[in-house]
Amino acid sequence: MSLREKLRVMVVDDMATSRGLITQALDSIGIANVATASDGKAAIAAIARAPVHLVISDYNMPEMDGLHLLHYLRNSPQTQKVGFLLITGRADPAIINKGKQLGMNNYIAKPFQPADLKSAIESIVGRL
């Protein structure tokens, strides 16, 4: 079984269209074991029930943005080693630097191509 078949991914985005685009891109590169959540709190609850290897999260979400989700994951013993990829329409240097300080593994700007997403994921988990 290849890494892309084993990899468990959580996609977190408050916009259904964006979640769909990300899951379609993951499917196109052969990653099918994907769960989704519409916000950080729902993602935390889902990950507690079914752990994942990688979280792909939007930055701008209500209640708990992507960096707050990252902070929570890095401060919980069960999730501190989970890979974290931030997807943002605002690749603001302050946001990216804060993400790096919190332990973000990589980021990608919207809009993106599936090949860009694959490269960003491979930089975290290895060759797919």
Residue with tokens 């490269």: 119
Residue 57 corresponds to which amino acid?
Answer: S
Q: Specify the pLDDT at position 7.
A: 96
Q: Which amino acid is at 5?
A: E
Residue 69: its pLDDT value, please?
A: 98
- Take residue 53 and report the two structure tokens written for it: 């290897």
* Rounded average pLDDT per 10-residue block, the chain, 128 residues: 90 96 96 96 96 97 94 96 93 92 96 95 95
Structural fold of domain 3-125: Rossmann fold (3.40.50)
Say which residues have a Cβ less than 8 Å from residue 121's Cβ, sequence separation at least 6: 29, 31, 54, 56, 85, 106, 128
The pLDDT assigned to 4 comes to 86
Q: What is the pTM of this model?
A: 0.96
Residue 5, pLDDT score: 86
Q: What is the pLDDT of residue 63?
A: 87
* pLDDT value for 55: 98
Per-domain residue ranges of the chain: 3-125
Helix or strand or coil: residue 113? Answer: coil
